[in-house]
């Protein structure tokens, strides 16, 4: 009798042990955010998604209202030492310079051609916009798309010596996938050029072109025989930054987001527009704190300056992602 009881007890222990051994790996494999360290940030995201997708729960959000908006530069991919679209524009300027000898007499253009970043910086945003206007116009939309695709496939980043589209953030890729798996529709809402992003972002993020909201220049429809085209003009149509982001969201998406992520003061109004509303809301700020794997910057940075939004985060209960502490890896190539 005693031996039988011992044998049964051992069997129960063995079965329990095996069950736990099988369940633990299964849970590990189903971690929706494997590149995020365990902690308050990851927990906040997972808890929010669980609450808004639990049918019958107090915070349930119908699938059609699960709109998530993401800034691009500094939120989904790097933005240092300059915005990547600015790097593209400068490379284009150098490639086109032989056909435009008059450019050497224009201060912004001369600064790029002479390799003088200080002179270009002194000209401020106006100088960059002049360069973008000259290098992004005078061609069809389809030609511009091919030009961006060729550049992003071959141009090396000055620090990492990798194509720019390899500098997307692995944890944010996982977050996009996780949200979509839970019925969210994900959008890019960026100050970057919408046609620049549409050339490569769908492949990188799984976000289709029609779900990318960005700054835009004017275009003109032209018909040459039976050949129809849209030609880019050197005029600005809309700047999707700062207070322009809620306007762009309303114009293109037509719904107020319940989830928004950004990294700079240019995203402040998008975060406010998303979270200052009734019902469950989630605001996220990616704080660049890792100067070893990427960069550490915030209030004093001329690129991706994060000051006011960082101050407002506690007031509005926005989740601040500490890149150094919260992310196991930054870029996908670190996993290899």
Band (pLDDT 50/70/90 cuts) for residue 129 is confident
**Inside any domain, residue 86:** no
Question: What is the residue range of 179's domain?
Answer: 36-80+164-335
From the centroid of its chain, how far is CA 141?
23
pLDDT of residue 117: 87
d(CA 205, CA 5): 58
Q: Tell me which residue of 242, 237, 303 sits closest to 273, measured CA to CA.
A: 242
**Inside any domain, residue 71:** yes
Reply yes or no on whether the pLDDT at 128 is more than 90.
Answer: no
Number of domains in the chain: 1
d(CA 321, CA 174): 14
Q: What is the mean pLDDT of residues 73-85?
A: 97
Q: What is the 3-state secondary structure (H, E, C) of 157-206?
A: CCCCCCEHHHCECHHHHHHHHHHHHCCCEEEEEEEEEHHHHHCCHHHHHC
d(CA 235, CA 134): 10
Reply yes or no on whether the pLDDT at 24 is more than 70.
Answer: no
Look at residue 16 and give its three-state secondary structure: helix
Worst-scoring range by mean pLDDT, 117-131, 132-146, 225-239? 117-131
Judge whether 35 and 43 are in contact, CB under 8 Å: no
Q: What is the pLDDT of residues 273-315, one digit of tens each?
A: 999 999 999 999 999 999 999 999 999 999 999 999 999 999 9
pLDDT of residue 125: 79
Judge whether 240 and 193 are in contact, CB under 8 Å: no
Percentage of the residues of the chain whose pLDDT score is greater than 90: 86
Q: How many CB atoms lie within 10 A of CB 182?
A: 15
- H-helix or E-strand containing 282? strand 282-287
d(CA 51, CA 198): 32
Q: What is the pTM of this model?
A: 0.90
Band (pLDDT 50/70/90 cuts) for residue 29 is low
pLDDT of residue 308: 98
Q: What is the mean pLDDT of residues 140-151?
A: 97
d(CA 119, CA 114): 10
Residue 39: phi and psi, rounded to 5, are: 160, -170
CA dist 76 → 72, 116, 124, 205 (Å): 5, 29, 25, 9
Judge whether 303 and 263 are in contact, CB under 8 Å: no
Average per-residue pLDDT in the chain?
92
Q: What is the pLDDT of residues 175-198, one digit of tens each?
A: 999 999 999 999 999 999 999 999
Judge whether 60 and 258 are in contact, CB under 8 Å: no
Reply yes or no on whether the pLDDT at 254 is more than 50.
Answer: yes
pLDDT of residue 123: 87
Judge whether 108 and 120 are in contact, CB under 8 Å: yes
**Inside any domain, residue 136:** no
**Inside any domain, residue 23:** no
**Inside any domain, residue 304:** yes
Angle between helices 40-53 and 170-181 (to 10 degrees): 20
Using the structure block, give the residue that is written with the tokens 């992004």: 136
Q: What is the mean pLDDT of residues 91-118?
A: 94
Reply yes or no on whether the pLDDT at 10 is more than 70.
Answer: no
Tokens of 25: 């790996």
Percentage of the residues of the chain whose pLDDT score is greater than 70: 91
Q: What is the mean pLDDT of residues 243-248?
A: 98
Residues in the chain: 336
CATH of the domain at 298: 3.40.50.1000
Judge whether 335 and 327 are in contact, CB under 8 Å: no
**C-alpha triplet 159, 74, 119: angle, nearest 5°:** 60
pLDDT of residue 126: 85
Q: Are strands 259-262 and 67-70 parallel, antiparallel or unpaired?
A: parallel
Worst-scoring range by mean pLDDT, 7-11, 142-146, 159-163, 286-290? 7-11
pLDDT of residue 20: 40
pLDDT of residue 2: 41
Query: What is the DSSP-derived secondary structure letter of residue 156?
Result: B
Q: Residue 227: how many CA atoms within 13 Å on its side-chain side?
A: 4
Q: How does 294-317 read in b/e, with b if 16+ C-beta sit within 10 Å?
A: bbebbeebeebbbeebbebbeeee
Q: Are strands 227-238 and 67-70 parallel, antiparallel or unpaired?
A: unpaired
Reply yes or no on whether the pLDDT at 16 is more than 60.
Answer: no
Q: What is the pLDDT of residues 204-236, one digit of tens each?
A: 999 999 999 999 999 999 999 999 999 999 999
Q: How many CB atoms lie within 10 A of CB 221?
A: 8
């Amino acid at each position: 009798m005693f031996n039988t009881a011992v044998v049964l007890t051992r069997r129960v222990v063995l079965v329990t042990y095996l069950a736990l051994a099988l369940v633990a790996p299964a849970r590990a494999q189903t971690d929706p955010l494997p590149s995020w360290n365990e902690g308050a940030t990851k927990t906040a995201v997972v808890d929010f998604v669980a609450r808004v997708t639990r049918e019958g729960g107090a915070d349930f959000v119908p699938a059609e209202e699960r709109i998530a908006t993401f800034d691009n530069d500094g939120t989904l991919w790097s933005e240092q030492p300059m915005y990547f679209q600015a790097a593209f524009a400068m490379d284009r300027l150098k490639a086109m310079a032989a056909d435009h000898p008059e450019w050497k007499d224009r201060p912004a253009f001369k600064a790029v051609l002479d390799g003088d970043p200080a002179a270009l910086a002194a000209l401020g945003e106006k100088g960059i916009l002049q360069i973008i206007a000259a290098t992004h116009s005078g061609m069809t939309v389809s030609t511009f798309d091919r030009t961006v695709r060729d550049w992003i496939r071959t141009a090396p980043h000055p620090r990492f010596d990798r194509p720019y589209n390899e500098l997307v953030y692995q944890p944010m890729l996982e977050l996009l996938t996780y949200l979509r798996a839970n019925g969210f529709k994900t959008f890019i809402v960026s100050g970057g050029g919408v046609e620049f992003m549409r050339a490569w972002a769908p492949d990188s993020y799984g976000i289709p072109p029609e779900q990318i909201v960005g700054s835009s220049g004017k275009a003109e429809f032209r018909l040459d025989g039976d050949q129809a085209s849209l030609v880019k003009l050197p005029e600005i149509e809309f700047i999707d930054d700062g207070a322009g982001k809620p306007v762009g969201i309303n114009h293109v998406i037509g719904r107020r987001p319940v989830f928004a992520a950004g990294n700079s003061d240019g995203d402040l109004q998008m975060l406010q527009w998303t979270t200052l509303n009734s019902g469950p809301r989630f605001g996220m700020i990616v704080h660049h704190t890792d100067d070893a794997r990427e960069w550490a910057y915030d209030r004093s940075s001329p690129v991706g300056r994060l000051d006011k939004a960082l101050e407002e985060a506690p007031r509005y209960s926005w989740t601040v992602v500490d890149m150094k502490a919260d992310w196991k890896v930054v870029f996908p190539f670190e996993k290899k």
